[in-house]
Chain A
Amino acid sequence: AQTVTQSQPEMSVQEAETVTLSCTYDTSESDYYLFWYKQPPSRQMILVIRQEAYKQQNATENRFSVNFQKAAKSFSLKISDSQLGDAAMYFCASLDSGAGSYQLTFGKGTKLSVIP
């Protein structure tokens, strides 16, 4: 079974500054995917960024990037040049891709506030 841990219930960042959200995971599989999802007050979960475990290169999507440390089972999200629209709940999630399962396992989330 997979577990995903987000140790920061809340974080805040000044507009235009950079913030890093932490995530650790545990899995016995060698082939898996990791995700960061954003959930704004509208409640719709939106995929921010995705990382395949077999890729050593860290994924980037515009202002969003990850620091994937496979040996440490760590997967942090860095948001650069933070904007007011980045304020939301952020969930880290994992998926075992080799077992034929399609269950995403989510962490408890980090609430990000952006200060103008």
Chain B
Amino acid sequence: DTGVSQDPRHKITKRGQNVTFRCDPISEHNRLYWYRQTLGQGPEFLTYFQNEAQLEKSRLLSDRFSAERPKGSFSTLEIQRTEQGDSAMYLCASSIPGILREKLFFGSGTQLSVL
């Protein structure tokens, strides 16, 4: 197991285009999180899944953003009609229940640049 995997590592797009990112969590982890990190800031929570259910969403997740986790395995984050303000690094993390439930394992992120 190589940890949390995110694809692509970098994405450059033009304003108004749609983009989709993928996250593959650690295989036995049933919890999956998306965070966004802009330059000079710490990560900000976007949304959280337990298995295939999306249980928590931040106000940052506007209606242009949608996240899915079909079958409780990998997850996708789609941004429609991208804006320059969407430029950021999008981080995915996963965790397991039990005493280590608060230990999040992060991927290396997808860096999005909107031109």
Q: Across the interface, do B58 and A103 meet the contact criterion of CB distance under 8 Å?
A: yes
Contact with B103, one of A42, A47, A103 (Cβ below 8 angstroms): A47
Set of chain A residues within 8 Å of B89, measured between Cβ atoms:
43
Contact with A106, one of B43, B56, B109 (Cβ below 8 angstroms): B43
Contact with A45, one of B55, B58, B106 (Cβ below 8 angstroms): B106
A43 to B48, CA, bound (A): 21
Q: Across the interface, do B42 and A93 meet the contact criterion of CB distance under 8 Å?
A: yes
Q: Across the interface, do B43 and A45 meet the contact criterion of CB distance under 8 Å?
A: yes
Measured CB to CB, the closest approach of chain B to A75, in angstroms, equals 14
Q: Across the interface, do A43 and B45 meet the contact criterion of CB distance under 8 Å?
A: no
Mask of A37-67 contacts with B, CB within 8 angstroms, 1/0 = 0000011111100100000000000000000
Q: Which residue of chain B lies nearest to A42 when distances are taken between CB atoms in the complex?
A: B108
Q: Does B93 contact A (CB under 8 A)?
A: yes
Q: Does A108 contact B (CB under 8 A)?
A: yes
Set of chain B residues within 8 Å of A42, measured between Cβ atoms:
108
Q: Which residues of A pack against B, CB within 8 Å? A: 4, 33, 35, 42-47, 50, 91, 93, 95, 97, 101-109
